[in-house]
């Protein structure tokens, strides 16, 4: 087995008391560990037409509409953070495509100078209608979530019988020019093993990069346990045994490790947030649908930007607040350590 397949112990710290940001620092989004933030993930809604078991409970109370940031408020935040170093945006949710006229937000964000990359993560169900308008509005990249190629397993995981529509959505996205398209698969033990080779074949046969995401403790019904995480090790071992893989050496701040098939037919990715945390290279922050700034997926503390946006704060005050929050960005999460505390929010309330 290749060296790249083996575990690296996570020695990166997971907590440190908050500090005041030194006033003399340049106005860039940088934290105490020297990490620069370039990437903002924006949740445009907490609503969703699926109920994936790893993300939300079956019965769920969504935010009242007036609590969700308007397009104008989202655009204002982006205009404030762009000069501080943000150049990449990802729209997510909940399901971003259930937000009405989302293509209008895409058009407004893609027109902001300095935004080099505007991506979206979606369950894909509305892509048949929306892939073309999104492309036209300036969306640069799309990730579609697809956890199973089997209709029954798909329905069991998403609690919706919608595999066919998602597959059509993927075809529509490819036709609209989102090539290569990334497909996200949450890797759950007892479920995903059965289909690892089917997904590998998909990545070999279509212009799709299939990325396996280790199941994280952000589900709505407390089903997560370490035993239910299908690990990076096992994913790679099983696929490599049939379709030999080799690592691709360009990762940077990307959470996915890339592996290509040795015969040159496509690639896969693994996001090993649980077994191989990449916190030391994290360059992202998140804005929730109701305007809370989160500096880590697993943050226990949030900064209320909506209160500032709606309370008459000027851009300078908002910028200072964000600079200070980023300075105290958590060193990392502690998922596989005893001190781990699960955030109160589930994935759909954060924006994955």
Nearest-CB residue to ligand SAM? 352
Among the listed residues 68, 137, 157, 218, the single contact to ligand SAM using CB under 6 A: 218
Among the listed residues 10, 14, 31, 54, the single contact to ligand SAM using CB under 6 A: 54
Of 42 and 325, the one with the shorter C-beta distance to ligand SF4 is: 42
Print the binding letters for residues 179-208 with ligand SAM: x by CB under 6 A, - otherwise.
-----x-x----------------------
At closest approach, how far in Å is the CB of 192 from ligand SAM?
11
Residue 349 binds ligand SAM, judged by CB under 6 A? no
Residue 218, phi then psi, degrees to nearest 5: -135, 25
Of 274 and 323, the one with the shorter C-beta distance to ligand SAM is: 274
Print the binding letters for residues 144-163 with ligand SAM: x by CB under 6 A, - otherwise.
-x------------------
Q: Please, what's the b/e burial string for 84-101 (b: 16 or more CB within 10 A of its CB; e: otherwise)?
A: bbbebbbbbbbbbbbbee
Question: Taking contact as CB under 6 A, which single stretch among the options 76-84, 90-98, 311-319, 335-343 is the one that binds ligand SAM?
Answer: 90-98
CA 252 to chain centre: 16
* Distance in Å from the first CA to the final CA of the chain: 32
Residue 332, phi then psi, degrees to nearest 5: 180, 175
Name the binder of 231 from ligand SF4, ligand SAM, none, CB < 5-8 A by kind: none
Of 85 and 255, the one with the shorter C-beta distance to ligand SAM is: 255
User: What 3-state class would DSSP assign to 205?
Assistant: helix
Residue 142 binds ligand SAM, judged by CB under 6 A? no
Contact 299, 331 (CB under 8 A): no
Determine the Cα–Cα distance for residues 135 and 340; give it in Å rounded to an integer: 40
CA gyration radius for the chain? 20
At closest approach, how far in Å is the CB of 337 from ligand SF4?
25
Site size for ligand SAM (CB under 6 A): 20
Helices and strands of the chain, counted as H and E runs: 10, 12
At closest approach, how far in Å is the CB of 257 from ligand SF4?
21
279 CB neighbour count, 10 Å cutoff: 22
Determine the Cα–Cα distance for residues 56 and 349; give it in Å rounded to an integer: 9
Enumerate binding residues for ligand SAM (CB under 6 A): 48, 54-55, 92-93, 95, 121-123, 145, 184, 186, 213, 215-216, 218-219, 347-348, 352
């Amino acid at each position: 087995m290749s060296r790249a397949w083996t575990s690296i112990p996570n020695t990166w710290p997971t907590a440190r008391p908050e500090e005041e940001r030194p006033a003399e620092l340049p106005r860039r989004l940088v934290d105490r560990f020297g990490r620069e933030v370039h990437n903002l993930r924006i949740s445009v809604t907490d609503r969703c037409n699926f109920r994936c078991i790893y993300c939300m409970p079956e019965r769920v109370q969504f935010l009242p509409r007036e609590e969700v940031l308007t397009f104008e408020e989202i655009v204002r935040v982006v205009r404030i953070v762009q000069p501080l170093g943000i150049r990449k945006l990802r729209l997510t949710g909940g399901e971003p495509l259930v937000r009405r006229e989302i293509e209008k937000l895409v058009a407004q964000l893609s027109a902001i100078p300095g935004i080099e990359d505007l991506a979206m993560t979606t369950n894909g169900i509305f892509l048949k209608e929306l892939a073309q308008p999104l492309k036209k509005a300036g969306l640069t990249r799309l990730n579609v979530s697809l956890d199973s190629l089997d209709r029954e397993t798909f329905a069991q995981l998403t609690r919706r019988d919608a595999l066919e529509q998602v597959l059509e959505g993927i075809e529509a996205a490819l036709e609209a020019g989102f090539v290569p398209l990334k497909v996200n698969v949450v890797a759950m033990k007892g479920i995903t093993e059965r289909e690892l080779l089917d997904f590998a074949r998909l990545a070999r046969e279509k212009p799709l990069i299939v990325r396996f995401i280790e199941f994280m403790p952000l589900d709505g019904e407390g089903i997560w346990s370490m035993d239910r995480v299908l690990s990076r090790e096992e994913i790679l071992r099983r696929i490599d045994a049939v379709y030999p893989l080799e690592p691709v050496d360009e990762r940077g701040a990307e959470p996915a490790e890339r592996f290509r098939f040795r015969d040159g037919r496509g690639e896969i990715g693994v996001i090993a947030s649980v077994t191989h945390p990449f916190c030391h290279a994290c360059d992202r922050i998140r804005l929730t649908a109701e305007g809370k700034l989160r500096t880590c997926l697993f943050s226990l503390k949030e900064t209320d930007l909506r209160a500032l946006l709606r309370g008459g704060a000027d851009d300078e005050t908002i910028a200072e607040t964000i600079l200070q929050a980023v300075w105290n960005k958590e060193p990392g999460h502690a998922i596989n350590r005893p001190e781990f505390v699960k955030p109160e929010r589930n994935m759909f309330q954060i924006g994955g």
